[in-house]
Structure 1
Amino acid sequence: MKYRTLGDTGVLVSELCFGTMGFGGTDMWANVGKTQQDEADRLV
């Protein structure tokens, strides 16, 4: 795995980052809550 220094902090972080989010909610996120399991599996 490759690492880089995070700004001027001296902290080493991986070049690869895997972000996640919740499925659900209200307002603009309401449709995300309707995601079916097979669709969610493809996203992850």
Structure 2
Amino acid sequence: MTESNTETKGKVRKWLKRFGWAGFLFFFIKGLVWLAVFWGLGNLINC
């Protein structure tokens, strides 16, 4: 691996630890809900 790739992975891990799994899961589920909303609206409009 390159040095910059290793640094990037370290930064991501540091960010995730700081942010916490609860925050990560919150935004992940929130994103999935928005995808479901837009999918449902698309089906409703297109019938």
TM class, shorter-length: under 0.3
Q: Return the structure number with greater helix share.
A: 2
TM-score (norm. length: structure 1): 0.24
The structure number with the bigger radius of gyration is 2
Q: Return the structure number with greater strand share.
A: 1
TM-score (norm. length: structure 2): 0.24
